[in-house]
Every structure is written in C-alpha cells, then in structure tokens.
Amino acid sequence: VVMDMNPSFKAAVKKALGRPVIVADRFHFCRYIYWALDEVRRKVQKEWHAYDRKKCKRMRHVLYKRSEKLTEKNRWYLDRYLGMSDELKKAYELKEAYCD
C-alpha cells in the first residue's frame, strides 16, 4: 500500500488488510525530511546570538534548496549557518544525500 504515514490511515490499512507492506509516497517522505531539517534548525538556532537566530529563520529557504541551485549570496549564508552547527550540517547533508 502506497500512502502517507498518517497514523490514522496506517491503522485503518492494517485493520483492513492485516499485515500489508506500507510504502510512504515520495511527496510525504520528502515532506518528513524537510520537517526534520527544519526541526534541527529551530533547535540549534535557539543557542545563537539574536541576529543570527533571526537571520537564519528568514534565510531558512537556503536549507531547502539543492546545493547546486544556490546563488553566491545564498551559498554564503548556507556555509555560515552550517559552520555554526555540526548537527545542522549533518541534517543538511542527509537531505542532500536523499535528493541525490
């Protein structure tokens, strides 16, 4: 069964079909990856100076873009914020690895 991973849908499918093989569709799987990346960003930026915290929140779209599609300015922001947190850098690398 290809579906999103909503717990209600999952429970209904299991009830109706017993022990089906459940596969997350690509859209919902990607959404969970981006949500996880954003959760890491929110967590780590709480420890930053107010300027960087606010700027990173406004520039969060650079984390969502593919690395090769970034402008020079966006690349600078990406490098700055990834350099401030190993955890954020790892989350971004995992997102990029999935996209590849």
Residue 42 CA to residue 34 CA, distance in Å, equals 12
Angle, alpha carbons 3-33-56 (nearest 5°):
145
Exposed/middle/buried for 5, CB within 10 Å: 0-12, 13-18, 19+?
middle
- Within a 13 Å sphere around the CA of 37, how many CA atoms are in the beta-carbon half? 26
How far is C-alpha 88 from the chain's CA centre? 10
* Predicted TM-score (pTM) of this structure: 0.78
Query: Per-residue pLDDT tens for 32-54?
Result: 899 999 999 999 999 999 999 99
Closest C-alpha to 19, from 6, 29, 10, 28: 10
Query: Per-residue pLDDT tens for 6-23?
Result: 889 889 999 999 989 988
Query: Per-residue pLDDT tens for 57-96?
Result: 999 999 999 989 999 999 999 999 999 999 999 999 999 9
- At 26 the pLDDT is 82
CA distances from 45 to 7, 60, 67, 90 (A): 30, 11, 21, 15
Domain count within the chain: 1
The parent domain of residue 69 ranges over 2-99
